[in-house]
Structure 1
Amino acid sequence: MPPRRRSGAAAPDHLTAENLETLAAAIAEGKRATVYLREAMPSLGLEAGASAKVISVQGNTVLIRPKGVDDELPFEAEELLMRRTPAPKPAPAAPAAPAVHQEIEPGPPPAPKTAAPKTPAAKTVATPQPAAAVPKPGAAPAKRTSKKVPAGVSVTIHAGADNDWSVTVAHGAKRPGKAVPVSPDAVERAVRELGEETAIEAVESIIVAARNLAAARVDELSRQLEDARKALEALGAVE
């Protein structure tokens, strides 16, 4: 049994390997998996702690769709959280200092004022301040460039009963695209390049069966053509 977590242990500040396994299992079962951003993304209008739907998990990379963003973005496990972090509580205000009442005893009467000699006013010279850096017009703030990691590609080869071959391609968990017709010899060359014996035997067995069927059809048509030619010659001899 895995060791139990201590109740007093602090929650990790990013997704762990165990979290990644849990998310991948939830997606495989068709369940919704949610994570949260550790840091804000001002370029997309996302705050720290914003929720995001998990699309797929590949190694340490998680493909997510943040709430309010119509795009799928790849994030590393260190950039995400399993649970939303609570907002920090404001510090309590310091208690106000008690008012101190001070009694002032009357003192001797003030001495008569004497006119002080005037001194020339000191001239103040303004020192030039360095000009603040003005941003260049048209300069846009740096945005986070999202590098999309392909979620995987599935290529399926279909062989019909009438020796018609086609290929469909599916990206990740999306539905396969439209079937594209291909020739049997192109499929045979492709599987031979792959070098996978099981695939080679399966494709060749279908192609050989189709060739034998076509050859038998040619023989049958040739026989029918010969019979028709003989019948035509017989009709010509009668005339």
Structure 2
Amino acid sequence: MTEPAFYRLLLWGFLLVAALTFPALFFITAPYGRHEAKSWGPTIGNRLGWLVMESPSVLAFFACWYLGGRPTDPASLAFLFLWQLHYVHRAWIFPFRIKSGPKRMPIAIAASAFTFTLINGYLNGRWLFGFGADRYGAAWLEEPRFWIGAAVFLVGFAINQHADWVLLHLRKPGETGYKIPRGGLYRWVTCPNYFGEIVEWTGFAICTWSLPGLAFALWTIANLLPRARSHHRWYREKFPEYPPERRALVPGLF
């Protein structure tokens, strides 16, 4: 089998699994973070789990750029910058900022996320710096799709970063347990961090105008929308005073 044939098969399989995963996650909540459970087998530390899960996104995407001839046209460098802006932080900075304490996650969760990020990094990187590279180049910066998508991505990134900042500063030194986050988009939704990430990858899909980019945006929704609903339900059960006007993910809607 040639690599282009393998790529097409992998991409359509990736989309199919997203379609199957979306409804399943309304009934199964991944057991890490506040939803930690003992029934999913051996565990590893939360911080190590994040490093394992997210690092393939950085490395696979960069490898596709490097092995694809290290293109230095403005569009390729912009795609590389936007992707790594999110994932270098998520993989190699964020894990050392979280106050994870004794929290652990199942090895099965870390392994499945590792597989996802490896495949996703390959699909997007191989398209942008290989199979679909002829579509881009300097002329792509004249496309409104590029600028609209990049702007949407950066807005989503800012929302995601602010929401994470609120969570990271929620507890005072020495405090443990959970509190109700407040400020910013937390005024209207339980999970503005997830909302921001969905906005980010929707912007990336517009910016690249590619099927792999769309597949990633759909995967982000399929994964984070059900999890936001689980978080929302958890907060309402744990805190009787939880603000009733808040939605789970999208202000005023859901």
Q: TM-score range by the shorter chain?
A: under 0.3
Could you say which structure has the higher strand fraction?
Answer: 1
TM-score by length of 2: 0.20
- Structure with more contact order per residue of length (Cα contacts < 8 Å, sep ≥ 6): 2
Higher helix share: 2
Largest Rg, 1 or 2? 1
TM-score by length of 1: 0.21
